Chain A
Amino acid sequence: MASTLSMVLYFLIFPGLLFTAAVGLLTTWVDRKVSARVQWRVGPPWYQPFADVLKLLGKEIVIPEGARHTGFLLAPVAGLAAVGVVSTILWLANMRGTGFVGDLIGVIYLLTIPSLGMIIGASASSNPLSSIGASREMKLILAYELPFVIAIFTAVTKISPMTLRIDSILEYQAANGVLLGNASCIIAFIVCILCAQAKLTYPPFDIPEAETELMDGTHMEYSGPALAVVKITQAMMLFTLPVFFITLFWGGLVLTGWGILYTIIKYVIIVTIIVLIKNTNPRVRIDQAVRFFWGPVTVLAIVGMILAIVGF
């Protein structure tokens, strides 16, 4: 009973929903501030994302005429819960070394749920522009999942007793040095960063929510608290994906002594790379994105996989 209660607390408060949402929202401030500095502006104060969310919680929800209420309102909550579970699994593997066989598969699966939720919500909203956004999001998932999975399995191939447990990957890195020291894993890491850009729907792959042509596409019809859930889910993804990459390739999160500072530096480096790619690239068309991911990126990921099998 006590362990069940502690698991619920793990999910709801510390590594799960509340903590991830708070750090994720702070990270979106880093994103906006770095974007502002790149554009030679001053940028918003640090509490800006929290003010946005508080404001959205106080507004009314407008449900469009002809929309499916349950699908429209429950789809973002499914995405929020999925990212919370991913964050809990990753942090428990890092903090306490707990895990189960196949949790890596679970994480890969759960990381797609927010995108699927957005597709369901946008399709349920009975808005033609949202439908276009949903169809683009579907194509984008089909495009980036293949190189993403290959890149993650490069890390699995690299560790010596091949397992699908996140904590075993962390133990191997603690014993034999970080995986980023190998050529194959550097390639896999680059592929992962490119796929993260598409997972977060950041430019150059913000095709489903293109502001200028689709008016925020998939979350166009959301307003008030529902929009707050969508924004928090995006912020949590921005926190969870770098943590996932640090766990897989960069030795995991060290939460003692100087390790805390080292962990924060690793996290900020990955976030800054993502934000700089976001700010220096224009949006591509959906066919260009699919060609990019199934062409050069998949070839790159397969080269990394072959290098890992050969032993580099």
Chain B
Amino acid sequence: MGATNWGFKKSLWVFHLNAGACNNCDIEVLDCLCPKYDVERFGIKLVGSVKHADVLLVSGSCPRKVVPQLKETYEMAPKPCAVVAIGGCACTGGIFKDGYNFAGPVDKHIPVNAYVPGCPPRPEAIIDGIVKLIGKL
């Protein structure tokens, strides 16, 4: 399993799941792929289908309507699959924690491997979180 584990660390394909986010974190995620930060240097790229994903990037406060889709998407992703919660809302609930439709942060529903807080987190913070995630794998 050594070779496949090495491959896993060197090529993380990211599927981006917006669980009720305000789009701010999503824009910061796209910033990471742009020339200034260029995470493709580490083999990270965005994929269109969750069946290709190694990392599920969840952003947003996770309102009640999204919970079934969140769980279903996590079950669809082929394992091993890591989950990263991006932004204050996905980590703790942020300013929505007392909202009437707030259904708990992401880790209440699916296991989360790394948290990147911030509103929105800077691309440097996201890269730092990914580095820590790779160290943990």
Contact = CB atoms under 8 A, between A and B. Distances in A.
Contacts of B80: 58-59
Contact of B7 (A45, A58, A61, A214): A58
A220 B35 contact: no
A57 B49 CA distance: 18
Contacts of A26: none
Contacts of A58: 1, 3-5, 7-8, 80
Contacts of A44: 40-43
A50 B11 CA distance: 9
Of B38, B42, B79, chain A has the most CB atoms within 10 Å of the CB of B38
Interface string B40-79: 1111000111011010000000000000000000001011
A215 B53 CA distance: 12
A126 to B, nearest CB: 13
Contacts of B40: 32, 36, 41-44
A225 B97 CA distance: 41
Contacts of A40: 35
Q: DSSP majority for the A interface?
A: loop
B43 A52 contact: yes
B8 A220 contact: no
A59 B79 contact: yes
B6 A51 contact: yes
A219 B49 CA distance: 9
A51 B51 contact: no
Interface string B65-100: 000000000001011100000000000000000000
Nearest to A43: B40
Contacts of B3: 54, 58
Q: For chain A, give the interface size range.
A: 35 or more
Given A43-B41, A54-B4, A55-B8, A221 B49 contact: yes
B10 interface: yes
B83 to A, nearest CB: 15
A2 to B, nearest CB: 34
Contacts of A216: 47-49, 52
A55 B54 contact: yes
A55 B48 CA distance: 18
A45 B9 CA distance: 14
A121 to B, nearest CB: 13
Contact of A61 (B8, B34, B49, B78): B78
Given A215-B48, A227-B52, A51 B43 contact: yes
Interface in B1-28: 1, 3-8, 10-11, 13
Contacts of B6: 51, 54
A58 B7 CA distance: 9
Contacts of A54: 3-4, 6-7
Contacts of A43: 38, 40-41
Contacts of A212: 48
A36 B40 CA distance: 9
A176 interface: no
Contacts of A61: 78
B38 A48 contact: no
A47 B10 contact: yes
22 contacts: A36-B38, A41-B41, A43-B38, A43-B40, A44-B42, A48-B11, A48-B43, A51-B10, A51-B11, A51-B43, A52-B7, A54-B7, A55-B11, A57-B4, A59-B54, A62-B78, A214-B48, A221-B49, A221-B51, A223-B78, A224-B78, A227-B51
Interface of A: 32, 36, 39-45, 47-48, 50-62, 211-212, 214-216, 219-224, 227
Q: Which 6 A-B pairs have the closest CB atoms?
A: A58-B4, A54-B7, A55-B7, A215-B48, A51-B10, A223-B51
Given A41-B41, A216-B49, 10 more contacts: A43-B41, A48-B11, A51-B7, A51-B43, A54-B7, A55-B4, A61-B78, A62-B76, A215-B48, A222-B52
